[in-house]
Amino acid sequence: MSNKDEVRLIVDGKRLDGRAFDELRPIKIKVGVLKRADGSCYLEMGKNKVVVAVYGPREVHPRHLQDPVKAVVRYRYNMAPFSVEERKRPGPDRRSVEISKVSREALEAIVMKELFPRSGIDVFVEVLQADAGSRTACLNAASVALVDAGVPMKGMISSVAVAKVDGELVLDPMKEEDFYGEADMPFAFFIRNDRIESIALLQMDGRVTKDEFIKAVKMAKDGAMRIYKMQKEAIKSKYVVESEEEVD
């Protein structure tokens, strides 16, 4: 790709993929895709394709990692070498360690850890294809996979980024917007009883004004609520079908 200043990301009031500024990429969610995991989810958010497996609550190994009063949540974000344009070296790197840490902290806001002393809840996240916002796609999938695993939770996590491109704030940036934009802010919200309770993750690259930041939070909240509805629908559709099958 060429020089940042030469790339126009907004043409005739539309984004390069034709979306409005406050429009999400298409989202697909499938619950319970892996037989051997306690809970799982496959999710697409635009060109991002991710799969999450949840195990637990189960005994923690090595044992010295156990917490006598609550469960330990572990989150491993992994990018497949073939998931990006330029092959990624397999294995953990600084970026995946950072994403795993902030994502785990976001999920810790919802998991009722105190119910499972000495246990572990493991969340394995595989990015099969990435196109910016992969950490947000993974958190949305992880939240659904935790529900599928039957892990008791106080609510859900719904996550989306806002970027500033060509001076405009845009929801759920794709790769070109992330790469050439002026700012990128991934958000994750803790949603309880169908309303936003708090911000569980907020990161920021680049610069925005105070007014832009306030507007970005509002845009992200609106987007996250739409994602939350899709997460709920996906969970319902699995369990409604399963219970109908049981009746037959």
Binding residues for ligand UDP (CB under 6 A): 84-85, 88, 95, 130-135, 175, 178
Cβ 182 to ligand UDP shortest distance, Å: 14
Smaller CB separation from ligand UDP, 6 or 85:
85
Strand order in the sheet with 48-59: 27-31, 39-45, 48-59, 119-129, 72-79
What is the distance between the alpha carbons of residues 83 and 86, in angstroms, rounded to a whole number? 9
What is the distance between the alpha carbons of residues 154 and 55, in angstroms, rounded to a whole number? 18
Smaller CB separation from ligand UDP, 134 or 140:
134
Smaller CB separation from ligand UDP, 151 or 160:
160
Cβ 158 to ligand UDP shortest distance, Å: 15
- Give the Cα-Cα-Cα angle 177, 179, 184 (nearest 5 degrees): 70
What is the distance between the alpha carbons of residues 72 and 57, in angstroms, rounded to a whole number? 9
Cβ 239 to ligand UDP shortest distance, Å: 29
Cβ 150 to ligand UDP shortest distance, Å: 28
Give the N- to C-terminal CA distance of the chain in Å, as an integer: 56
In 3D, which of 32, 27, 156, 135 has the Cα closest to residue 78? 135
Smaller CB separation from ligand UDP, 139 or 151:
139
Cβ 222 to ligand UDP shortest distance, Å: 20
- The two tokens of residue 168 are 């405009």
What is the distance between the alpha carbons of residues 187 and 203, in angstroms, rounded to a whole number? 7
**Any residues with CB less than 8 A from the CB of 127 and at least 6 apart, and which?**
48, 49, 50, 77, 78, 79, 80, 83, 134, 137, 138
Cβ 207 to ligand UDP shortest distance, Å: 16
